[in-house]
Amino acid sequence: MKLFFAVVFLFLGFKVSAEESAWVHESELSIVSSGGNTKSDTFSAKQKTSYTLHDSKVTAAASYLQGKSSQTDKTSGVSTEVKNLRWDASLRYDYAFNEKFGAFFGHGAESDSDAGYVQRDNTDLGGQYTVIKSDEQSLITEAGLRYTKTYDGTLNDYATYGRLYAEYVRHFTKTINFKLWAEHLPNLKESQNYLSNAEASVSVILTSTFSLKTAYLAKYHNRQVSTAVVEDKRLETLLTTALVAAF
């Protein structure tokens, strides 16, 4: 695993060579601070770098979010603090057979203290189909499998999921675009356990390099926690406004 992360961050930090047009970089940064009865500070950063050569494409991505909130009881004067840490890193290879069909393989790791796990390793394999591709809009779909290993701080849990994914992008004007992606992962062994994720975002281009992006992310995890008909339903949402640099 250490070798994997070393490869990811080495790839992210690799300088653009003579084949500059084959490289695409996108960086996001968001800082939010609020005061009052409840004080909160949130910092998030994302980096995505891809390299395309003929029909092959390699993409490395990483994100980091750290949140801290504190609230003071008016009666006792006691202040309580809650911290949240979320990160992920991934490396993915895509191959295009033609303009419509392609295949991909990827591996990544993520951590989310609010979701109840220390680390989750994901390995993806599947195919891609481009439904629409034009200057105004695009729609791609993916179908495949995901194998996961989840460590909750005590034990490792292994699972195999199906994976259905769709991504739609619409360019309203030269400076405003909308993006929506959704992902559903049914557990192939335990039907009660499944994951659903979706994000909608609007970007406004400020200059040839910078843009302002507002995104709303929802992550839902449904799982059975006992032999009885008892389910643990977790819904996490995140609203961010970030400065994006693309070059």
The pTM score is 0.82
Would you identify the CATH topology of the domain 2-22+49-62+83-246? Porin (2.40.160)
242/83 Cα distance (integer angstroms): 21
Taking the chain (247 residues) in runs of 10, the rounded mean pLDDT of each run is 45 45 90 62 92 96 87 64 86 97 98 85 98 96 97 91 98 96 95 93 95 93 58 76 92
DSSP 144-177: EEEEEEEE-SS-EEEEEEEEEEEEEEEESSSSEE
User: Rg of the Cα trace of the chain?
Assistant: 20
Cα 102 from Cα 209, distance rounded (Å): 29
**Residue 225, pLDDT score:** 55
What pLDDT sits at residue 232?
56
Given a contact cutoff of 8 angstroms between Cβ atoms, the answer to whether 165 and 194 are in contact is no
Q: Name beta bridge partners: 129.
A: 101, 141
Q: In this structure, are strands 176-186 and 117-133 parallel, antiparallel, or unpaired?
A: unpaired
Q: Give the pLDDT confidence score for residue 42 in this predicted structure.
A: 87
Q: Which pLDDT belongs to residue 138?
A: 97
Domain range summary for the chain, segments of one domain joined by +? 2-22+49-62+83-246
Backbone dihedral region for residue 153 (phi beyond 0: left; psi -120 to 50: alpha; all else: beta)? left
Contact between 246 and 209 under an 8 Å Cβ cutoff? The reply is: yes
